């Protein structure tokens, strides 16, 4: 049987392989229903500051397995719900970033740069429309690349990027982020250094505590959820409460962001946004195909590439400058970070390597339920008969396509429903966000120590805002520190202990030269 037969069998497995559910006399395939429920759950979870898709997937997976079991018939319904959460949370993550300047995930922080200024100008619902259109467009492009190139793209990436090249790429991304976000560049580098330092505290690759000062509680390092949510969400809540105190002292009342004017997104504007969506989507797809890098880098590169391209064409146009509340900034970011989700399954299915936290739970589900063992053999055509794993893989592709269709049709309505949170008074909203974030961290770690770390990093985030130190380089450096250390250690060993392993190939030399060029260029640009 050929690949076309396996695609058809995968489609049939979704429609007929796991049973039907009768709703108002209409039979709905069970995997399609779980995708829909997961998508709605993901949008709602992503819209609540302090919650995130991986957290919801961690809670949902054991519940789904207890309901559907471990048999092959449970594979598509369980994976369908998890895929729905993954896609929905990516779209929903733009809601708190746009409305409240409190991103729940690092990649959504770039959305705040233009999304929140749009909210302050009364264009909150238009920003949500732009985010939804861009996010689903980027996700759809990524999925198309996944469907066509999964067996080939992962192999090509692995053949061109070895360990030294991956380490150099991470270093380039850190320099790029520090140079773009830090104004001046020195502040960006300070923030990157702080993030790398915070990540080195605790048990390193040598399995003994380091930089702990003899404090036992530090031996395990700082939980990533505490660092991210503390600096991004709690720090912003503290800053907002501090600003509210200043507003009350000077004006005697709190400023509310009302929705005013035309918040529609006509077809002509959508066509204009495609000039920013398509390049960012391909950036996100390329980054998603790289194991272990994830959507944070994709969002940053997508935004900065669009910013540089726009400023080169319109150097003197202050009204459309990125960072002042332009739809193009929201579009570039959301297209890039959403395009990662489909491409992330390329290394997952072909190599069994997760690209982000959401992919970890997909692999865990695949390991727990019979149906598919992620490996290069997934896409190998047998000499006779069928390859059941390839059938399940194309079943997953079908579920992802269905999730995109449902997202196109109804995702915006759920986002707009969650967008009504903009009408909640800030004196009620921000304490609620603070409570929800603390509860979410405690539920995840079941430890008061995690809550203490959360508050401490919240204070750090507040102080960094007061000192005008950028938050994004700190967070991304913390996230990339462990992959960077692991990749550099493995690259150093693989090259026989060569201290110049970061310059061991033409690609490495190009990437390392890019680090110096980026820093020097933006430092001179800032100085002038």
407 lies in some domain = yes
The β-bridge relationship of strands 20-23 and 26-29 is antiparallel
The residues near 185 (Cβ < 8 Å, ≥ 6 apart) are: 178, 179, 519, 522, 523, 526
- The yes-or-no verdict on residue 108 having pLDDT over 80 is no
Residue 329 to residue 311: CA distance in whole angstroms: 12
Tokens at residue 284, please? 């996100």
Domain assignment present for residue 213? The answer is: yes
The residue among 231, 243, 303 whose CA lies nearest residue 427 is 243
- Tally of domains within the chain: 1
List the structure tokens of 252. Answer: 């005697």
Residues contacting 317, CB < 8 A, separation 6+? none
Q: How far is CA 5 from CA 75, 212, 283, 402, in A?
A: 20, 58, 32, 20
Domain assignment present for residue 95? The answer is: yes
Spell out the SS3 assignment of 166-196. Answer: HHHHHHHHHHHHHHHHCCCHHHHHHHHHHHH
Q: How far apart are CA 417 and CA 127, in angstroms?
A: 14
% pLDDT > 70, the chain: 80
At residue 459, the pLDDT reads 92
User: Is residue 265 situated within a structural domain?
Assistant: no
Closest by Cα among 177, 132, 41, 253 to 480? 177
Helices 185-200 and 163-181, packing angle to 10 deg: 130
Does residue 393 belong to any structural domain of this protein? yes
Cis peptide bond prior to 184, omega within 30° of 0: yes
CA distance 129 to 312: 27
pLDDT at res. 317 = 60
Portion of the chain with pLDDT greater than 90, in percent: 2
- Residue for token pair 């999730």: 403
Q: With 60 as the cut, is the pLDDT of residue 194 above it?
A: yes
Residue 259 is assigned to a structural domain of this protein: no
Using one digit for the tens of pLDDT, what is the confidence trace for 114-162? 888 888 888 888 888 888 888 888 888 888 877 776 656 555 655 666 7
> What residues pair up with 21 in beta bridges, in sequence order?
28
More confident call, 396 vs 357: 396
Quick check: 231 and 460 in contact, CB under 8 A? yes
Nearest CA-CA partner of 46 in 81, 102, 80, 91: 91
User: Does 264 fall in a domain?
Assistant: no
pLDDT tens profile 15-33:
887 777 777 777 788 888 9
Helix (H, G, I), strand (E, B) or coil at 23: strand
Q: What is the mean pLDDT of the chain?
A: 78
Lowest mean per-residue pLDDT among 158-167, 333-342, 461-470: 158-167
- 415-457, pLDDT tens digit by residue? 777 766 656 666 776 777 788 778 777 776 778 888 888 899 9
What domain range is 109 assigned to?
3-254+273-527
* 376-389 b/e (C-beta count within 10 Å ≥ 16 → b): eebbeeeeeeebbb
CB 132 within 8 A of CB 415: yes
Q: Look up residue 322 and give its two tokens.
A: 């990125």
- The torsion angle over the Cα atoms of residues 351, 168, 490 and 361, rounded to 10 degrees, is -40
Query: Which residue bears the tokens 């399995």?
Result: 207
The H or E element that residue 28 is part of is strand 26-29
DSSP state of 453: H
Each residue of 221-239: pLDDT tens digit? 888 778 877 887 788 788 8
Q: What is the mean pLDDT of residues 248-262?
A: 59
Angstrom distance (rounded) from CA 25 to CA 428: 43
Residue 286 placed within a domain: yes
pLDDT per residue over 493-505, tens digit each? 888 888 888 888 8
Return the pLDDT at 321: 78
pTM of the predicted structure, to 2 decimals: 0.68
Counting every residue written for the chain, the total comes to 528
Residue appearing with tokens 């966000």: 433
How far apart CA 398 and CA 406 sit, in angstroms, is 12
Q: What is the pLDDT of residue 251?
A: 64
pLDDT value at 257 more than 60? no
pLDDT of residue 102: 73
pLDDT tens, position by position, 302-351: 888 888 887 777 666 655 677 777 888 888 888 888 887 777 777 677 66
């Amino acid at each position: 049987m050929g690949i076309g037969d396996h695609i058809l069998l995968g489609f049939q497995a979704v429609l007929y392989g796991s049973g039907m559910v009768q709703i108002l006399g209409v039979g709905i395939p069970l995997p399609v229903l779980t995708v829909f429920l997961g998508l709605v759950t993901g949008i709602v979870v992503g819209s609540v500051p302090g919650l995130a898709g991986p957290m919801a997937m961690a809670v949902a997976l054991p519940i789904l397995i207890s309901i559907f079991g471990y048999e092959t018939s449970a594979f598509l319904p369980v994976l369908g719900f998890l895929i729905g959460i993954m896609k929905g949370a990516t779209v929903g993550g733009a809601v708190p970033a746009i409305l409240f300047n409190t991103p729940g995930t690092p990649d959504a922080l770039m959305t705040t740069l233009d999304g929140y200024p749009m909210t302050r100008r009364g264009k909150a619902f238009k920003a949500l429309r732009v985010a939804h259109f861009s996010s689903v467009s980027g996700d759809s492009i990524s999925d198309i690349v996944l469907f066509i190139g999964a067996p080939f793209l992962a192999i090509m990436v692995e053949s061109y990027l070895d360990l030294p090249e991956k380490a150099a790429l991470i270093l380039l991304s850190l320099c790029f982020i520090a140079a773009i976000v830090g104004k001046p560049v020195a502040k960006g580098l300070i923030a990157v250094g702080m993030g790398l330092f915070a990540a080195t505290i605790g048990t390193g690759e040598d399995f003994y505590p380091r930089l702990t000062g003899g404090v036992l509680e530090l031996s395990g390092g700082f939980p990533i959820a505490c660092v991210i949510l503390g600096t991004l969400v709690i720090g912003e809540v503290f800053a907002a409460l501090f600003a509210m105190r200043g507003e009350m002292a000077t004006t005697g009342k709190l400023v509310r962001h009302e929705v005013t004017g035309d918040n529609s997104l006509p077809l002509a504007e959508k066509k204009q946004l495609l000039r920013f969506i398509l390049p960012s989507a391909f950036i996100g797809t390329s980054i998603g195909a790289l194991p272990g890098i994830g959507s944070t880098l994709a969002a940053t590169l997508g935004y900065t590439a669009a910013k540089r391209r726009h400023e080169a064409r319109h150097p003197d146009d202050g009204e459309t400058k990125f960072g002042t509340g332009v739809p193009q900034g929201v579009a570039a970011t959301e297209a890039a970070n959403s395009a990662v989700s489909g491409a992330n399954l390329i290394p997952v299915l072909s190599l069994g390597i997760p690209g982000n936290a959401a992919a970890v739970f997909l692999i865990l589900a695949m390991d727990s339920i019979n149906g598919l063992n992620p490996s290069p053999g997934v896409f190998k055509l047998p000499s006779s008969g069928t390859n059941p794993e390839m059938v399940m893989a194309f079943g997953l592709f079908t579920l992802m396509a269905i999730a995109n269709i449902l997202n196109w049709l109804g995702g915006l309505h759920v986002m707009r429903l969650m967008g009504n949170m903009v009408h909640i008074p800030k004196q009620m909203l921000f304490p609620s966000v603070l409570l929800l974030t603390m509860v979410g961290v405690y539920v995840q770690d079941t430890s008061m120590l995690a809550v203490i770390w959360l508050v401490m990093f919240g204070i750090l985030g507040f102080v960094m805002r007061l000192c005008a130190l950028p938050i994004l380089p700190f967070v991304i450096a913390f996230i990339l520190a462990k992959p960077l250390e692991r990749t550099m250690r493995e690259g150093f060993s693989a090259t026989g202990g060569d201290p110049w392993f970061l310059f061991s190939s033409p690609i490495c030399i190009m990437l390392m030269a890019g680090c110096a060029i980026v820093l020097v260029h933006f430092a001179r640009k800032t100085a002038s």
